[in-house]
Amino acid sequence: MMYDYLIVGAGLFGSVFAYEMNKRGKKCLVIDKRPHIGGNCYTEQIEGINVHKYGAHIFHTSDKKIWDFINSFAVFNNFVNSPVAIYGNDVYNLPFNMNTFSKMWGIKTPDQAQKIISQQISKTKISAPRNLEEQALLLVGKDIYEKLIKGYTEKQWGRPCSKLPAFIINRLPLRFTYDNNYFNDRFQGVPIGGYTQIFEKLLNGTDVWLDTDYTMLKKDRIAHKIIYTGRIDAFFDYCFGALEFRSVRYENEIYDCSNFQGNAVVNYTSSDVPYTRTIEHKHFEFGTQPKTVISREYFIEQKTDTEPYYPVNDEKNNLLFGNYRELAKTRSDVIFGGRLGEYRYYDMDRVICSALKAAENE
Ligand code: UDP
């Protein structure tokens, strides 16, 4: 055996783990079936703009240790995510805050907003929310749910809100101040120069084979242990059936103008617009290039020829995942990590935290 660890996937979990083990003198091989490192964080330059090829990645955390860790690989700017939502002809600020309420109801004070929301909540007669729809109605009432949540969520997940787990909507802050910061976390930013440099540094000193599928190496025992960040059901040959994922497709366009939409992220929350959001990448780094690159994001069902992105953590799939998790326990030579390996809707900081813990345990 030539390596201590065979790490499948050059994304955040695999690369952080490789970095940590390399530091401890272990020999790692990282493989990825894509032609590049960085997983879905990968950025590439188009027209001098760092394009987030697999969707908007804004780093945010409240964990000082994780913030210091990621800052040791790149200089982060002071970008604050403040997406806007377009519904029909109206533009609303996100997350749900006093700017949103003022636009929605023509009111000015938190007291006025709270009264309207309370009235709408009391009409729902829901006490214990059983799904995302009920959770959202209980949190913000009917108007916000119908204009800013329902259409967007159903496009993103491809199923009715009444069939989705409530926790998804709890990712979004609700506040009664005029504050458009999408996240509540203490630290936030985007690496100046893009994310790929971070992975180059994390993987410095580690062997990396790109365009390499795990199935090509499966039979050769080239490492003592495997770190597997691909989908866990694929690892076990789908023996209990396939876990459901949502996939995303991007349509990129280059425009001959310096500022197309005035914001990095614009959400389209009505069901008649087929895409969920448009991303104008230059705004992540306050770019002043003469041209601009726009990505329209379409959520699609994951098929064999599309990439899995978002685990569908509904009851049925979580139960199925439970079977795989039990099976994984019988494989002490494999660690499963990341969104696909752990079947979790993970933010970047939590993935890093989990990779650091896994390295520590080793
Ligand atoms: N969400 C919404 N309206 C929006 C933005 C988000 O209802 O305009 C809800 C929706 O339920 C969605 C969840 O928040 O599934 C997370 O969305 P977000 O865009 O933050 O997802 P991510 O950035 O992780 O892809």
- How much is the pLDDT for 306? 86
Q: Residue length, the chain?
A: 362
- How much is the pLDDT for 143? 98
How far, in Å, from the CA of 237 to the mean position of ligand 1?
A: 32
Q: Is 148 in the pocket of ligand 1 (CB under 6 A)?
A: yes
- How much is the pLDDT for 303? 84
- How much is the pLDDT for 340? 97
Nearest Cα residue to atom 12 of ligand 1: 153
What lies within 8 Å, CB to CB, of 284 at 6+ separation is: 50, 52, 56, 58, 79, 190, 264
For residues 208-227, average pLDDT:
93
Of residues 118, 119, 100, the one with CA closest to residue 177: 100
- How much is the pLDDT for 40? 97
DSSP 3-state of 54: coil
Q: How many helices (H) and strands (E) in the chain? A: 12, 16
For residues 10-37, average pLDDT:
98
Q: Is 313 in the pocket of ligand 1 (CB under 6 A)?
A: no
How far, in Å, from the CA of 267 to the mean position of ligand 1?
A: 9
Q: How confident is the model at residue 171 (pLDDT cuts 50, 70, 90)?
A: confident
Q: Is 334 in the pocket of ligand 1 (CB under 6 A)?
A: no
What lies within 8 Å, CB to CB, of 238 at 6+ separation is: none
Tell me which residues are annotated as active site.
Answer: 171, 175, 246, 277, 297, 345, 347
Integer CA distances (angstroms), 320 to 249, 323, 324, 341, in order: 26, 5, 7, 13
How far, in Å, from the CA of 271 to the mean position of ligand 1?
A: 14
Q: Is 169 in the pocket of ligand 1 (CB under 6 A)?
A: yes
Round the average pLDDT of the chain to a whole number and report it: 96
> Using the 8-state DSSP alphabet, how is residue 149 labeled?
I
Q: What is the CA radius of gyration of the chain?
A: 21
Atom of ligand 1 nearest to the CA of 85: 8
Is 362 a residue whose pLDDT tops 80? yes
Tokens coding 347: 């933010």
Prediction pTM value: 0.96
> Using the 8-state DSSP alphabet, how is residue 296 labeled?
E
> With contact defined as beta carbons under 8 Å apart, do 263 and 80 qualify?
no
How far, in Å, from the CA of 153 to the mean position of ligand 1?
A: 7
Work out the burial of residue 355: count CB atoms within 10 Å of its CB; fewer than 13 is exposed, 13-18 middle, 19 or more buried. buried
